[in-house]
A and B are shown apart, each in its own frame.
Chain A
């Protein structure tokens, strides 16, 4: 009898714990349209925010979106303040030494956008003598430091927005970032007036990564598998394509 009660209470506790345990999903506190940005009412909207909801629902997790400063998001994960990162973080070998990643949920090329008045292309020679802005703590900063830093002045910004802002102001000649995020910038009146896409950078998978995945703590395999299940589920049942169709003209999964 005692054993029955003990087993029952342990099972109840575990079930209760599993159900009640909220997964705090960290997103960047800085706006990153069209993936995640705050609206005037203070709610987070965007393609990635909707994907977070869909993946968590498919994986039967209770997710709580937790905005975290982008340049501290990995320390926040490692120290336990958040449980997962879904902030358009690319899967790179460097990052894999500190955290684990799920399967990718999108993959888009990296482009360079620059002033209309300047001729340049997305190569170290094309950018020689120019000023390039990148967001701190991104694959773009790592790529630019590896390939462009020798002949190009690099400026690092806390957010991609601020880099775009300095591009509009004319302080920098170009910026390197995700093609979709920069498309959103070029769709604005200031962006269209000042700048255009100059080209796609030569791929280097060791730096640019193999797509964007969900970051989890090293060894947190249960959560990683849950996210993998969720991603596979929404790709299979069409929810992924339905959300993507509302934001983009074509799929961004990157086959």
Chain B
């Protein structure tokens, strides 16, 4: 199919061979790395949302100490580069965990690379998610919540029936942003040695010396991931905005 193009540009054939899905092409490695990236991003995103819900509720309804501690958490994570946070959390986190286990007399536990990556990125995501979710929850009109309480709904019912559906369309743009940040931040884990797409790309490029080819291919894969995600979140937002009063300014 591409023979004509390959005749015009001989280097293209060599590049296509390098990217082939089966060995000796490295395409399979890259795709495996991409799957790992997606898994880590999904895990980190989910963990970040969980931390974010807790953080948002804590910031709004918690006592003064809780609020201050959460402010410290979000400020530190949003001011310190992710690379340094990843290094600190990865080495210090596992070190402290193993020391605690040693004090309790247990054997040091081995934390898989996947779990560590998800934990580290999730903690970073959690700080941003706290702010996104807090803004979204606060944008729900107070009158609706008060009316629900007047009807006698328990706090859980209020959250499930009123707050959550109302805040979702407001939270979705922020959450879409967070998801994109999560997928791109997995690239930083390459510096710490996790086997995800950027590391596989670097290994393939280093072994074959075809840096341009592989970095372009990796860029294309990331672009596909972000474009598909953008479409998905756009669809989600359109779906959850049905029945909402008018478009936001």
A residues adjacent to B (C-beta < 8 A) = 24, 29-31, 33, 37-42, 67-70, 72, 75-76, 78-81, 158-159, 161-162, 165, 168, 188, 190
Contacts and interface: CB of A to CB of B under 8 A. Distances in A.
B87 interface: yes
B203 interface: yes
4 pairs of A and B residues whose beta carbons are closest in the complex = A69-B193, A161-B206, A40-B23, A79-B95
A31 B203 contact: yes
A216 to B, nearest CB: 14
Interface of B: 23-26, 28-29, 32, 87, 91, 94-95, 98, 108, 110-111, 116, 191-193, 195, 199, 202-204, 206-207, 209, 211
Contacts of B191: 69, 158
A30 B193 CA distance: 8
Interface centre among B25, B191, B203 (most CB of A within 10 A): B203
A119 to B, nearest CB: 26
A46 B49 CA distance: 43
Contacts of A69: 191-193
A79 B98 CA distance: 8
Contact of A37 (B28, B193, B207, B211): B207
27 contacts: A24-B110, A29-B195, A30-B202, A31-B203, A31-B207, A37-B207, A39-B23, A40-B25, A40-B26, A40-B28, A40-B29, A40-B204, A42-B28, A67-B193, A67-B195, A68-B193, A70-B193, A72-B192, A76-B91, A79-B91, A80-B95, A81-B94, A81-B116, A158-B191, A159-B202, A162-B206, A165-B209
Nearest to A185: B209
Contacts of B207: 31, 33, 37-39, 161
A38 B29 contact: yes
A21 B211 CA distance: 39
B116 to A, nearest CB: 8
Contacts of B204: 40
Contacts of A42: 28-29, 32
A37 B207 CA distance: 7
A75 B91 contact: yes
A29 B209 CA distance: 17
B195 A79 contact: no
A168 B110 CA distance: 40
Given A69-B193, A81-B116, 17 more contacts: A31-B207, A33-B207, A39-B23, A39-B24, A40-B23, A40-B28, A41-B23, A42-B29, A68-B193, A72-B87, A72-B192, A79-B94, A80-B108, A80-B110, A81-B110, A161-B207, A190-B209
A185 B72 CA distance: 49
Contacts of B199: 29
A159 B98 CA distance: 29
Contacts of A33: 207
A165 B211 contact: yes
Nearest to B108: A80
A67 B23 CA distance: 20
B94 A80 contact: yes
B18 to A, nearest CB: 9
Nearest to A22: B110
A161 B192 CA distance: 17
Interface centre among A30, A40, A165 (most CB of B within 10 A): A40
Nearest to B93: A79
Contacts of A70: 193
Contacts of A37: 203, 207
